[in-house]
Structure 1
Amino acid sequence: MWHQLLPHATSFDAFISPNEDTRLEAFISDPDSFRQERLILKAEVDRILNKALRQLPARERYILERRFGMRDGSELTLEAVSRILKLSKERVRQLEREALLKLRLSLEGMRSQLMGA
């Protein structure tokens, strides 16, 4: 019955070609290895982002960390950050914009270094 339903089915134990000693099962991804790969990639992205954030002035870094929840996962509004820093919402928005620009430039520079290495 299975042969009628799947006329072209092949065993995972089959070799990929007559001239190869590699079996099809070697090409099946392991879900655990994919998760591990994602964890490693996330850790590397976090490391690079933190390196770029450390290059910002403390106040700008603080604003980005609070606005985007980088400290504890909770994102604060412009108004909340402005109350904490005793600045106007507009000034916090300006500082956030400047910080994001600096962060982008820093990350682009790091990318150039990584690609050139």
Structure 2
Amino acid sequence: QLEQKLGRTPTPEELAQDMGIPVEKVNEIIRIAPEPLSLDTPVGEDEDGHLMDFIEDDNCVSPTEAVDRSLLRDRIEEALRVLTDRERDVIKMRFGLIDGMPHTLEEVGKHFNVTRERIRQIEAKAIKKLRNRNNCRKLRDFSNGL
């Protein structure tokens, strides 16, 4: 803000006065604050790489992880096909397979306009169906491959 007001880079004295701190403190901050570094900075002996090539984006999903997630989603959908539409929807809501948020018996009951006890019964019946050997094996085979 001070730089915009002055139209130039302020001196340490001006910064100190503006911030109400001693000039020595401003000089110390300037000394220890790292200079910005460009991601285009060459790296390596031949300088054929750039800094950005070595910085991993933690928010980015790796291609392998994306494929694994897709395969798992497909296997889960395949396993859920043995259920009725209502059972499938209850399981998806209860375990957060729709929006990533698991829902309580109460919340699912309100969604379907039934009691939470009825949702518990539907869920128990669905889980019993899912424990069938073929369904379990499909998911187990996938998880063993990870």
Q: TM-score range by the shorter chain?
A: 0.5 to 0.7
Structure 1, residues 70-94: CA drift from partner, whole Å, max 9, x if none? 1112221101111221222111111
Q: Percent identity?
A: 31
Instruction: Select which of 122, 126, 140 maps to 1:95.
Output: 122
**SS class of match (1:87):** coil
Q: How far apart, CA to CA, are the structure 2 residues paired with 1:45 and 1:88?
A: 31
Question: Any residues of structure 2 matched to 1:16-95 within 5 Å, and which?
Answer: 35-95=62-122
Query: Which one scores higher on RCO, CA 8 angstroms, separation ≥ 6?
Result: 1
TM-score by length of 2: 0.47
Q: Report the AA paired with residue 96 of structure 1.
A: E
Q: Report the AA paired with residue 47 of structure 1.
A: D
Question: Any unmatched runs of 5+ in structure 1?
Answer: 1-30
- More helix per residue: 1
Q: How far apart, CA to CA, are the structure 2 residues paired with 1:82 and 1:108?
A: 27
CA shift, 1:36, in A, is: 3.0
Question: Any unmatched runs of 5+ in structure 2?
Answer: 1-55, 57-61
TM-score by length of 1: 0.58
In our comparison, the structure showing a higher alpha carbon Rg is: 2
Aligned CA RMSD, in angstroms, stands at 2.9
In structure 2, the partner of 1:110 is: 138
**SS class of match (1:100):** helix
- Tell whether the 8 Å contact from 2:76 to 2:139 is kept in structure 1 after alignment: no
Deviating beyond 4 angstroms after TM superposition, the runs of 4 or more aligned structure 1 residues are 111-114
Q: Report the AA paired with residue 110 of structure 2.
A: R
